[in-house]
Amino acid sequence: MSRFDRVLTWIENGIAGGAIGGAAVVAIVQVVLRYGFNEIIFWSEEVVIYLVILSTFVGAVVALRHNEHVGVNLFTVILKERGRRVLAAVAGLLVALYCGVFAVLGWSMITETSSQNLVTPAMKMPIWVVQLALPVGLTLMFARALEMVYRVLRYGRGRPEAEKEEHGEDVR
């Protein structure tokens, strides 16, 4: 596993796991406070929603890393190995192009929103912080798609480390 891949995997896992874990903790604390002590945290619902959104965007990158996105295998079944490699590389480049374009648009949305001083309803946090989920997720997916295209072209396959990682094997 390359250093770039290790760092990218660490970032993806950290953000996705931290976001969904944080959402779970806040939701559990809110339920305990509400039903156990008749108290509420007024901003808890907002935090949970934003953390789930973040985990969704970054979780999509993790799914890409493990090649678990929805795919149509009509062509891969009839093509030979070289054709499958070319098709995988073209598909990866299209994913990278799409994610790259929308990541740039997302970062420009952040720039525009930050100048408007908009805030979230309950927490009064700048809305651009919440919107970061979109460009961060798409930027990570752009990098992961390019990394996967490189692997397909160089080694003829996606990412064998992802399979080892799923089974708890050491991938360093």
CA distances from 71 to 87, 88, 89, 100 (A): 12, 11, 14, 20
The whole-model pTM stands at: 0.76
Tens of pLDDT along 18-50? 999 999 999 999 999 989 999 888 898 999 999
Tens of pLDDT along 93-104? 999 999 999 999
Q: Which tokens belong to 124?
A: 């009064």
Can you give the pLDDT at residue 172? 46
What is the C-alpha to C-alpha distance for residues 153 and 82, in angstroms, rounded to an integer? 10
Which segment of 22-31, 75-84, 133-142 scores lowest on mean pLDDT?
75-84
Task: State phi, psi for 113 to the nearest 5 degrees.
Answer: -65, -40
